[in-house]
C-alpha cells in the first residue's frame, strides 16, 4: 500500500469543467519502503527524500493508502480526464502530468529498492 497524503487533487481534476484551467498543487506522495521507512516525492517539484522508519511511523498516522494497482488506476484516470478536456489541460498541465508519472514511477522503484534487505 502507498500512503497518499491527499487525494483531493484527483477529485478536483476529475470534476473540473471543460471551461476552466486546473491548478496542480505540489503535494507530497509517500512510497512505503517497509522496514526502511518511506520515500517522499512531490506531485510537481523534483523534491525526493528518504524518510527514516521512526519518522515515517509517527508521520503516516491518518494518511490515506492505496495499492499500487489502484494508484495506477488513479493515475490513468487523471491522464484520461486531462485528455478529455483540451481547455482544462493545456500543454503545461500535460507536461506536469508526464512529470508526475515519471516521479511516481521513480518513487515506487526507490521504495522497492529500499524495502529489499
Helix 68-84 crosses helix 91-115 at what angle (to 10 degrees)? 170
Domain boundaries, the chain: 2-115
14-18, 29-33, 48-52, 83-87, range with the lowest pLDDT: 14-18
Measured at the alpha carbon of residue 72, what is the angle toward residues 67 and 74, in degrees to the nearest 5? 95
56-65, 74-83, 85-94, range with the lowest pLDDT: 85-94
- pTM exceeds 0.85 for this model: no
Amino acid at each position: 500500500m502507498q500512503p497518499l497524503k491527499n487525494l483531493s487533487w484527483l477529485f478536483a481534476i476529475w470534476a473540473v469543467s471543460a471551461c476552466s484551467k486546473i491548478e496542480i498543487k505540489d503535494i507530497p506522495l509517500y512510497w512505503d519502503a517497509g522496514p526502511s521507512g518511506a520515500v517522499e516525492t512531490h506531485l510537481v517539484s523534483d523534491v525526493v527524500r528518504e524518510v527514516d522508519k521512526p519518522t515515517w511511523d509517527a508521520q503516516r498516522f491518518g494518511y490515506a493508502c492505496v495499492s499500487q494497482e489502484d494508484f495506477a488506476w488513479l493515475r490513468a484516470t487523471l491522464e484520461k480526464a486531462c485528455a478529455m478536456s483540451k481547455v482544462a489541460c493545456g500543454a503545461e498541465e500535460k507536461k506536469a502530468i508526464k512529470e508526475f508519472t515519471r516521479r511516481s514511477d521513480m518513487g515506487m522503484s526507490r521504495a522497492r529498492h529500499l524495502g529489499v534487505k
